[in-house]
Structure 1
Amino acid sequence: MIKTYKLTYESPIGVIEIIGTDKAILSILFSDEKKKEMILDETPPVLAECYNQLDEYFKGERLTFNFPIQCKGTEFQKSVWKALESISYGKTGSYRDIANTIGNEKAIRAVGNANSKNMLSIVIPCHRIIGSNGTLTGYAGGIWRKKWLLEHERSRIDTEKVMI
């Protein structure tokens, strides 16, 4: 049996639970848990790196993530999650866009279902999916978090435009 480890990161929008092995991150999900798991000497480097990169993201210093992840799901779900990664920081897309990206334009509902099964919040950016009419659609972490994440990313992009 593969040993798993857990850390919690206190983000500006709530506690995020990070679960992984000594090789890859398995899940990054918002949690109601109050208990804090801090980085310790025995914390695998991959979890510490995930924690640090999330911290940089929330400080507006990081636009992409580069630690190893492991997605568990069907081939269809994995294709949807891979397509989600193509939506750039500060941008949005729709379920229809993802269905088209994976070459299955009739799979809009199935794309939505796969999106809801994403265990790697923020890193696989399901928060960047909005309705085709521009409205915010469901998000496991709550619509208010989705709105915050999108505004956070857009404000960073707007700041970069001013700095150029």
Structure 2
Amino acid sequence: MSRPARLLLDRAPSPIGELLIVTDEAGALRAMDFQDHEHRLDRLLKTHYGPLRPEPGATPVAIRDAITAYFAGQFEALNTLAWVTNGTAFQHAVWTALTRIPAGETITYSELARRAGRPLAVRAAGHANGSNPLSIVAPCHRVIGMDGALTGYGGGIDRKRWLLAHEKAL
């Protein structure tokens, strides 16, 4: 992936905690996480962008509006967002597969691996899911355990439960 010239960091309220939104100079979404996981976001940015640090800057209106619409129940609004992330080809396949899980539905990690084109790479799909830099936009919260358990979510199981209930998946 291309390296941006600048990264911009903004904050936005949400019903489940303040969001940290990282965009680039072209207005593409690069990363999003929760404020209480700012250390994880910082580590991810260092991994993907090296010494380039985000500076304060406003989130493009289209991104802010889509996030607001999502929390107002218009779940498809996030599907319109342009995003660019660094990562491996397999990670991109997993993150793209996540964006294709409709709101209100869940899939298992084995199904995620299948949809990413590597049906035997269940653990790798789980790891890529856990490395997802686009919280909510690439809806990793829609991936559940084989037994239906709400397993692992970087934002916390309570947020995962809230998001799935919000989307009427629970």
The interval holding the TM-score normalised by the smaller chain is 0.7 to 0.9
* Cα RMSD, aligned residues only: 2.1
Alpha-carbon distance in 2 for matches of 1:55, 1:64:
9
Aligned residue for 1:11, secondary structure, equals coil
Alpha-carbon distance in 1 for matches of 2:25, 2:117:
35
1:4-153 equivalences in 2 (<5 Å) = 4-23=7-26, 24-32=28-36, 43=58, 47-65=60-78, 66-153=80-167
1:64 and 1:89 in contact (8 A); partners too? no
Alpha-carbon distance in 2 for matches of 1:79, 1:60:
27
Alpha-carbon distance in 2 for matches of 1:114, 1:102:
10
Gaps of 5+ in 1: 35-41, 159-164
Alpha-carbon distance in 1 for matches of 2:58, 2:108:
37
Aligned residues: 147
1:33, distance to aligned residue in structure 2 (A) = 8.1
1:62, distance to aligned residue in structure 2 (A) = 3.7
2:22 and 2:29 in contact (8 A); partners too? yes
Gaps of 5+ in 2: 39-56
- Rate the CA distance shift 1:90–1:5 in 2: closer, same or farther, 3 A: same
2:37 and 2:155 in contact (8 A); partners too? no
Cα-to-partner distance string for 1:8-57 (whole Å, 9 max, x where unaligned)? 111010011001013211011111289xxxxxxx736xx32211111111
Q: Which 10-residue stretch deviates more, 141-150 or 81-90?
A: 81-90
Alpha-carbon distance in 2 for matches of 1:144, 1:96:
23
Alpha-carbon distance in 1 for matches of 2:117, 2:71:
33
Alpha-carbon distance in 2 for matches of 1:103, 1:69:
21
Identity of aligned residues (%): 39
Runs of 4+ in 1 over 6 A off after TM superposition: none
1:15 and 1:33 in contact (8 A); partners too? no
TM-score (ref. length: structure 1): 0.82
1:12 and 1:58 in contact (8 A); partners too? yes
1:77, distance to aligned residue in structure 2 (A) = 0.5
Rg larger for? 1
1:2, distance to aligned residue in structure 2 (A) = 0.9
- Rate the CA distance shift 1:62–1:86 in 2: closer, same or farther, 3 A: closer
2:75 and 2:167 in contact (8 A); partners too? no
TM-score (ref. length: structure 2): 0.80
- Aligned twin of 1:37: none
